Amino acid sequence: MSKNISNLSGRIGLKDNLFKQISENTLSDTPKDINEIAKEHNLGVSTLHGAESFYEFLRPSHREKKAFVCNGSACMCAGTQDKLKDTLKEKLGDDKVGEMFCLGHCYENNAFHYDGENYAGKDIEKIDQILNGEDIIQDKFFLKVLQLLVF
Amino acid sequence: MSSEKRKIAYIDGKPYEIGANHTSILKFVKSYVGEKKVPTLCDDPNLAPYGACRVCSVEVALEKDGPTRMVASCHTPVAENQHIFTSNEAITNLRKNIVELVLTDHPMECDSCEVNNNCELQTVANDLGISDHRYNSPKQHKGIPRDTSHDYMRMNLDNCINCGRCVRACDEIQGSFVLTMSGRGFESKITTDNDMMFGDSSCVSCGACAHTCPTDAISDVFMSKSADVDEKVRTTCSYCGVGCNLEASIKDNKVVAIDTPKETEVNAGHTCIKGRYAFSFYDHPDRLKTPLIKRNGKFEEASWDEAYDFIKKEMNRITKDNGPDAFAGISSARCTNEENYVFQKMIRAAVGTNSVDCCARICHSPTAWGMQQTFGTGAATNSTEDIYHADCFIVIGANPTNAHPVTGAKIKQQVMKGKKLIVLDPITTELAKLADYHIKLRPGTNVAVLNMMLHYIIKSKLYNVDFVRDRTEGFDNFIKEIERQDVDHLAKVAGVDKQLVKEAAIAYATAKNSMEFHGLGVTEQEQGSKTVMLIADLAMITGNIGRKGVGVNPLRGQNNVQGAADMGCQPHQGAGYYEVADEKNQKFYTEKYGVTHPTKPGLKIPEMFEAAIDKELKGLWIIGEDIVQTDPNSAHVVEAMNSLELLVVQEIFMSETAKLATVVLPGTTFLEKDGTFTNTERRIQRVNRAVPPLPGTKPDGVIVTDMMQKLGFDQPTYDAEQMLKEIADVVPFFKGVTRERLGKLGLQWPVQEDGTDTQILHTESFKLGRGRLKNFDWKESTEIETNKEEYPLILTTSRILQHYNAATMTRRTKNINIVDEDVLLIHPKDAAHRDINTGDIGRLYSGRGEVALKVEVTDKVKEGIVFTTFHFPEHMVNMVTGHGKDEETMCAEYKVSSVEVQKISNQFKTEVKPKENQAEVS
Amino acid sequence: MDDKLSSPNQFKEQLNKFLKTDKQEIIKSLLDSNLTGRGGAGFPTGMKWDFCSKAKGDKKYVICNADEGDSGAFSDRYLLEDQPLKVIFGMILCGMVIGSDEGVLYIRGEYPKSIEAINGSINELKKLNLLGDNILGTDFSFDLGICIGQGAYICGEETALIASIEGRRAEVDVRPPFPVTEGLYKKPTVVNNVETLAAATGILINGPEKFAAIGNKKSAGTKLVCLDSFFNNPGVYEIDMGTPMKKIFNEIGGGYKEPVKAFQVGGPLGGVVPLSEIDNLNLDFQEFTAKGFMLGHASIVSIPKDFPMSEYIHHLFEFSAEESCGKCFPGRLGSYRGKEMFDQVKNKTAKIPLKLLNELLVTMQKGCLCALCGAIPTPIMNILKYFGDEMKNDMVKDN
């Protein structure tokens, strides 16, 4: 929809695309007024506001939180998330823990996101180290290739 | 092509042919089985299909009795042999359930709602038999405070159904992008800008959103969507030359609201703040309601007979003692064709002089002249519809998004989608911001830049050899003159980049279809007519004439300035443009009018002023034109008016000119009369009376006819239809025009006897046979030559969106709350030199006069240029403009005045920047 | 999948070879392999590349849809983090074939390591002149970048993804026009899933016959299947199409750690297959659809025996309500109203009005604009069919 906005956005191009500009601006420590970005590109500020308000990560309510537990179906069924959430709330505060849908660790559960990184499985046991900003060693999962399996 | 097989698809079992315009199943079904067969909520024929409501769902099968699937008909293409089912149990259930879901979040308060009985949701729900929902305690979005912050727009989001039509209208029709949906999922809501109130937003009040909104979520203060009206009258707008079709809602003999009809050729449901909302001037208390005669310096009320007798006595005295040429008339480009025709007839046949003129003098007279010299016809060659077929646009000296909003919006839409745009303008206008090539030239250098463009096209051999050979004459000489041009010098004078001009010229010449638009930035200059002729050259040598998507298209300013000129309101040509000095034509007019037609060409308006001051012109009759405020060098105009013995001013308000009159006659607005207007694309459209004339006033045609009878001329009592018949007999290109034939959509002249009209001119040959190529060298404006030492800045004036010229009408509407003063724009470098900042008061002065204005510092204006508007008599900006005129037609040189600016005070210097839309040039 | 493309040197070697290959041959190869989109939509990849190469346009784009938000799925994540070169190679070849010089990977923000890994690969390849201007000294230039998703599942839908990159709201667009003719910035664009691109790479390097030989015409080659933590051997496996599900679960997966009663296959929009039906299914797109399920991205989420199904339905409705773009009426309103119904069950304020629920599900299924709210009824209907008994105390049948 909106051939106009698609074309006007096309003038900005893919490399430093409008979505990137909007999200980087919102997530930065000193965001510009989006009116400025809009004027620069001959767009209505409403376009940028509408886009910005669409995404979970760009909303103020999300950005106030520090950790996010996975609320995907697999982790939910595994039943690990309630305890995980409690632990994190204890460490960070009740209102500082939110949710994210599926971090891709369905094979080990206990998945959560903190400060730009994903953790899962046994990582919660090292929570104090994580909160201190230390890098921890995380398990990698494995692949088995069964290309020629004939039934 | 005729052997192409007909493509068939089936609707509920019956076969129908798939037409070229059936781009979706919905369109296909609607065109054959009616508008109501398939219900819709988020669909609007003027907007691209959106696919949100899904209420238009139908079932399709690829073959007879084949498996069916449910699709939304608005955005699914119709395919050959498709079997479409418009309703069955599954479809009806789906539609019912969807509408039921909508009702779970909609207050059911139809009785107190503005659009009760005119609501699309109500209609669809009633048709499906749904009036309630079955969901248990659904969360609802209600209690949202109504947004009444705007002077005209109203938002009531409790009733919003999230169809997105308003957002799409603001995007796809107007192109302002004020509205958006924000949030996501169930919490999505309509938002203005970045969550502003309407009143603080960048909204330009075109009302496209209110018009398309199916409920009353967005509407206006006039409740234009209310069904509680006595009748709706279709008519044509009286503001600008676009000529939007409007629909006036009448209740108790008052116009309570204005909306746009769905079916038009010109504006497809769209218009602007003026056309849609600024109509309350018509019954403003300032309306003149009785004739006035000035005795001992004071106006006294008089009866019509008294006034007529007074005028007759004075007119007879003047013409008896001094000859008929001591009298003149200025007609109104805002009056109808019929009124313009009968007025020039009065001046020529009843009084006996050719001194009749109209405001085209100060606006497009160079266009008429220039195009007559090159093509033979002085009117737009193409239609607005051609915008959809052009690949490249060149807009010279015009700001259509301000002054011709609907046309400007159409051009903007095409440009946003990738069509090329070249703009020649010293100001960075809204279109200039989007342009591929913005040539920011110095006012007074149009001829220089056009010569550069022609030079590059000739040098690169990009001209259309076939067209030049078959349709033009004078090419050999033309080439010589063009090649002689010194582009370096011209680039320097104009203050532009050579390379940019070259690329623009190449873009224009190599595009498949290049379409030109120009405005007063071309004509209101000393070399105005010459500029027009060079534009004609540009179009001719590239073959951009005589077919779709091209042409030379002046944007006529007034609603009927084309008409006023067509009807003969110029001193050298009579009705239908026949030269009055020609004996053959004199015979023709004499026969038609029944009285000897004068042959000596009359006075042009500037000449009238000189003649008045010289005491040669003693009497003047002006209809609906505030020359004191709008003509240049106001002090000079006032002097001229005060020198007359008789000044009759026929007006609707006590304008600055009316204040100086001897007799004032109260006329009517477009809402109170029948007639026709001719818009900028030569389209003659009906004006239909919506309400009777206000008590005490008379339609302008009636006044003139009454006067003619008083003067002893045998003119039948005024009737618009009869008058049109008379016009059809005299004006050749009106031959087949009748009120009935004009119908709803109008006709573009020339109209043949059988009623066939003409979209595109010069398709086979020009009126002159071959087009004439002309050459002109650039010459500095006398105004600048004379004054540049003492007054180094150049003032250029123009209009903004919210007000119309002298703003006699718009100042008497709520538009005055949006913009209430003229503001001076000045470049940062010039401002720095003069120690001026935004918010200061500046003294703008020239050799003629001075005016004090609030200042805004911006780089939208070219360095060395200052810009302002002329809408407010409190400022009277035309005190400052000068004597410059177009050499051929005497059109006033508004665009080039030598001025200087000085800071008066910083009394109003505040931290608050001037509002977004105040005197907004772009 | 094998180790023929895991190092930059191998990359260079293969790229060299393919830069000299005829475009039509590459398209034919893909067509012959019967590769269909691995993201869930299942469109023949060769056809997509072919259409786009024929589309008129001065500029074209290649987009990798790495917005895998399906719960239970981590195959795309694996490929991005562990086999990035295979994905990138596929994009470059696509660019070559369709005539594009610019591409982008839209990676969801929930996968920070994937972003890091791809960034690293791109930088490395650029240094070696294997990406960017005049690759390996030829006329062909191809630039690649990353777009980071900001938390919207709907961006996995191709038109919403395109809208997202353009800076618009990520609402689903009507089709036609399809992205291959009017995609990013209204230019011809190929949007392919991560796994599809990696598979395309494998096919082109190893030859289409091997791929086509596995499975059948419509469900050909291999598929990455993700097994969750309920299996004794959780992980991502490349498995031949047509393999019986029970073999996958019991032999490869090693059976279950605790009793399970059903599996949601293919993400939150995929079908819920009761344990009893597993024996009757093979890894095949059409078979799953025919039985009223959906294979989709082939992720497996196990639902343990004592997990209340009404809570699972609530989870599904809540998911679709949260992630719905909000454009279409049945989606925006239907998903929310469905969630409310199950909120009320959870809070014990009301029972499920079964008739209304069924009408709602049909409405969403038939009326929605896209597969988000349009397919969420599939698993819910599966649950109602196979596990209706479990919930019968929470239901009211007549309403």
For chains A and B, what is the number of CB pairs under 8 angstroms? 66
Joined together, the tokens standing for residue B411 give 């051009």
Q: Quickly state the pLDDT bin for C7 (edges 50, 70, 90).
A: confident
Q: Is the pLDDT of residue B352 over 60?
A: yes
C396–B contact, CB cutoff 8 A:
no
Residue A47 distance to chain C (closest CA, Å):
7
A61 touches chain B (CB under 8 A): no
**Total domain count for chain A?**
2
State how far the Cα of B446 lies from the Cα of B490, in Å rounded to an integer. 10
Of A15, A73, A142, the CB nearest to C145: A15
State how far residue B278 is from chain C, nearest Cα, in angstroms.
34
State how far the Cα of B114 lies from the Cα of B256, in Å rounded to an integer: 14
For residues C67 and C157, membership in a common domain is answered with yes
DSSP string, A66-82: -EEEE--HHHHHHT-HH
Q: Give the neighbours of chain B: at least 3 Cβ pairs within 8 Å.
A: A, C
Same domain, residue pair C52 and C38: yes
Q: Does B374 touch chain C (CB under 8 A)?
A: no
C-beta of residue C106 within 8 angstroms of C-beta of residue C184: no
Domain spanning B782-905 has what CATH number?
A: 2.40.40.20
B166 Cα to chain C: minimum distance (Å): 14
Please give the CATH topology (third level) of the domain spanning B292-361+560-748.
Rossmann fold (3.40.50)
- Spell out the domain ranges in chain B: 8-87, 113-123+134-277, 292-361+560-748, 365-554, 782-905
Name every chain B residue with its beta carbon within 8 A of the beta carbon of C341: 135-136
> CB A48 to CB B202 under 8 A?
no
Over range B532-536, report the average pLDDT.
Answer: 96
Same-domain pairing of A72 and A107: yes
Cβ contact, residue pair B185, C359, below 8 Å? no
Cβ-count burial B740-757 (b if 16+ within 10 Å, e if not): eebeeebbbbbbeeeeeb
Give the span between the Cα atoms of C387 and B273, in whole angstroms: 60
- Say what the pLDDT of residue B912 is: 37
Residue A151: is its pLDDT beyond 60?
A: no
Chain A residues close to C242, C-beta within 8 Å = 151
3-state secondary structure B775-798: CCCCCCCHHHHHHCCCCCEEEEEC
| C106 and C166 share one domain | yes
- Domain span holding position C330: 309-396
Is pLDDT at B702 greater than 90 in this prediction? Answer: yes
Find where tokens 């992720």 sit: C299
Q: Considering only the beta carbons, identify the residue of B98, B136, B188 that sits closest to C367.
A: B98
> How far is the C-alpha of C66 from the C-alpha of C48, rounded, in Å?
18
DSSP string, B476-513: HHHHHHHHT--HHHHHHHHT--HHHHHHHHHHHHHSSS
Distance CA B638, CA B632 (A): 11
Euclidean distance between CA atoms B622 and B649, whole angstroms: 5
* B648 Rama class: left (phi>0) / alpha (psi -120 to 50) / beta: beta
pLDDT at position A136 over 80: no
Give the residue from C165, C181, C213 where a domain finishes. Answer: C213
CB atoms within 10 A of CB C259: 11
Distance CA C335, CA B116 (A): 30
What pLDDT score was predicted for residue B879? Answer: 81
Cβ-based contacts of A7 with chain B (< 8 Å): 416-418
Say if residue C239 is in the same domain as residue C327: no
Identify whether residues C183 and C39 lie together within a single domain: yes
pLDDT above 80 (res B918): no
C320 in the same domain as C379: yes
Residues C292 and C313 in one domain: no
Lowest mean pLDDT among A129-133, B67-71, B195-199: A129-133
Query: Do residues C150 and A25 make contact, with C-beta atoms less than 8 angstroms apart?
Result: no
ipTM over 0.90? The verdict is yes
Whole-number average pLDDT of chain A? 86
Confidence of residue C10 (pLDDT cuts 50, 70, 90): confident
Q: Which CATH number do you get for residue A74?
A: 3.40.30.10
Question: Which of B50, B172, B176, B180 best tests the A interface by mutation, with the highest count of A CBs <10 A?
Answer: B180
At A7, is the pLDDT very low, low, confident or very high (cuts 50, 70, 90)?
very high
**Residue C1 has what pLDDT?**
52
**Coil vs helix vs strand at B174:** helix
Identify which of C327, C337, C369 has the shortest CB distance to residue B101. C337
Chain B (65-84) residues lying within 8 Å, Cβ to Cβ, of chain C: 70, 72, 75, 77
What is the band of A68 on the pLDDT scale with cuts at 50, 70, 90? Answer: very high
Q: Is the pLDDT of residue B911 over 70?
A: no
Cα separation of the two ends of chain C: 53
Q: What percent of chain B stands above pLDDT 70? A: 98
Tell me the shortest Cα–Cα distance from B406 to chain C, in angstroms: 25
- The tokens describing B731, both together, are 């004006």
Percent of chain C with pLDDT over 90: 71
- Kindly list the residues from chain A whose CB atom is less than 8 angstroms away from the CB atom of residue C319: 101
Q: Hey, what are B107's tokens?
A: 């207050």
Q: B86: pLDDT confidence band, cut at 50, 70 and 90? A: very high
Q: In this predicted structure, which of B246-255, B887-896, C181-190 has the lowest mean pLDDT?
A: B887-896
Regarding whether C37 and C131 lie in a shared domain, the answer is yes
Is the per-residue pLDDT at A71 higher than 70?
yes
Radius of gyration in angstroms for the set of CA atoms belonging to chain B, rounded to a whole number: 29
Contact yes or no for B182/B134 (Cβ under 8 A): no
Q: Cα separation of B634 and B657, whole Å?
A: 10
Among the partner-chain residues A46, A53, A54, the one whose CB lies closest to the CB of B192 is A46
Per the structure, the complete domain to which residue A17 belongs is given by 3-60
- Taking 90 as the threshold, does the pLDDT of residue B904 lie above it? no
3-class secondary structure per residue, C5-43: HCCHHHHHHHHHHHHCCCHHHHHHHHHHHCCECCCCCCC
A21: its two tokens? 């500009």
Q: In one letter, which amino acid is B446?
A: N
Give the integer Cα–Cα distance in Å for B401 and B385. Answer: 17
Q: If you measure CA to CA, which chain C residue comes closest to B103?
A: C333
**pLDDT tens digits, residue range B475-526?**
999 999 999 999 999 999 999 999 999 999 999 999 999 999 999 999 999 9
Same domain, C76 and C197: yes
Test mutation, B416, B423, B429, B916, chain A, max A CBs within 10 A: B416
For residue C358, give the CATH number of its domain.
1.20.1440.230
**C20 and B CB contact within 8 Å:** no
| C-alpha distance from A129 to closest chain B C-alpha (Å) | 36
Q: Is the pLDDT confidence value at B321 over 80?
A: yes
Interface test with A, best of C68, C71, C189 (most A CBs within 10 A): C71
Per-residue model confidence as pLDDT tens digits over B447-480: 999 999 999 999 999 999 999 999 999 999 999 9
Indicate the CATH number for domain B365-554: 3.40.228.10
Cα C327 to chain center, whole Å? 22
Question: Residue B232, SS3?
Answer: strand
For the cut 80, the answer to whether the pLDDT of residue B921 exceeds it is no
CA C69/CA C170 separation, integer angstroms: 15
How is residue B417 written in tokens? 């989608």
CB contact under 8 A, C187 and A10: yes
CATH assignment at residue C56: 3.40.50.11540
A143 pLDDT tier (thresholds 50, 70, 90): low
The torsion angles phi and psi of B668, rounded to 5 degrees, stand at: -125, 165
Calculate how close chain A gets to B333, using CA atoms only, in Å: 36
- Mean pLDDT throughout B118-132? 94
Q: Is the pLDDT of residue C381 over 90?
A: yes
At residue B909, does pLDDT exceed 60? no
How confident is the model at residue B833, as a pLDDT? 93
pLDDT in tens, C86-130: 999 999 999 999 999 999 999 999 999 999 999 999 999 999 999
B418 CB near a chain A CB, below 8 Å?
Answer: yes
Peptide bond into C377 cis (omega under 30): no
Does B65 have pLDDT greater than 90?
no
Chain B residues touching C333 at Cβ < 8 A: 101-102, 104-105, 186
pTM: 0.93
Is A1's CB within 8 Å of B181's CB? no
Q: How far is C172 from chain B (nearest CA, A)?
A: 9
Tell me, what's the pLDDT at A142? 54
Which single residue is written with the structure tokens 């749904």?
Answer: B130
Q: Which of B640-644, B790-794, B815-819 shows the highest mean pLDDT?
A: B640-644
Q: Assess A7–B contact: CB distance below 8 Å, yes or no.
A: yes
Residue C231: predicted pLDDT: 92
Rounded to whole angstroms, what are the CA distances from C87 to C7, C84, C117, C192, C226?
A: 13, 5, 12, 10, 18
Domain B113-123+134-277 has CATH 3.30.70.20: yes
Q: How confident is the model at residue B642 (pLDDT cuts 50, 70, 90)?
A: very high
pLDDT tier for residue C275 given thresholds of 50, 70 and 90: very high
B44 touches B212 (CB < 8 A): yes
Q: Which of C304, C324, C351 is the last residue of a domain?
A: C304
B180 touches chain A (CB under 8 A): yes
Inter-chain residue contact C356 with B134, CB threshold 8 Å: yes
pLDDT at B905 over 80: no
Same domain, C94 and C202: yes
Q: How far apart are CA B844 and CA B836, in angstroms?
A: 12
DSSP string, B284-308: -TTS--S-EEEETTEEEE--HHHHH
**How far, in Å, are A31, A124, B9, B34 from residue B6 at the CA level?**
59, 70, 10, 22
**Distance, in angstroms, between C177 CA and closest chain B CA?**
10
Is pLDDT above 80 for B311? yes
For residue A18, list chain C residues with Cβ-Cβ distance below 8 A: 166-167
Subunit contact A53:B182, Cβ cutoff 8 A: yes
DSSP E strands in chain C: the ranges are 61-66, 102-107, 143-148, 189-193, 222-227, 235-240, 260-265, 272-274, 299-304, 352-353, 395-396
Token readout for C115 is: 């972003």
Give chain B's mean pLDDT. Answer: 92
Is residue C205 domain-shared with residue C276, that is, in the same domain? no
Task: For residues C359 and C237, state if they share a domain.
Answer: no
Which CATH architecture group holds B8-87?
Roll (3.10)
Residue B695, chain C, CB below 8 Å: the answer is no
Matching fold, domains B8-87 and B782-905: no
Is-contact B234 B296, C-beta < 8 A?
Answer: no
| Cβ <8 Å between B172 and A53 | no
> What pLDDT band is residue A128 in, cutting at 50, 70 and 90?
confident
**CB neighbours of residue B29 within 10 Å:** 24
Q: Is the pLDDT of residue B557 over 90?
A: no
- How much helix, strand and coil, in percent to the nearest 5, is found in chain C? 50, 15, 35
Q: Is B865 left (phi over 0), alpha (psi -120 to 50) or beta?
A: beta
Using CB atoms, list chains with 3+ pairs below 8 Å to chain A: B, C
Hey, are the CB atoms on C328 and B105 less than 8 Å from each other?
A: no
pLDDT (tens digit per residue) in C202-245: 899 888 888 888 888 888 888 999 999 999 988 888 888 999 99
Domain end call among C213, C242, C275:
C213
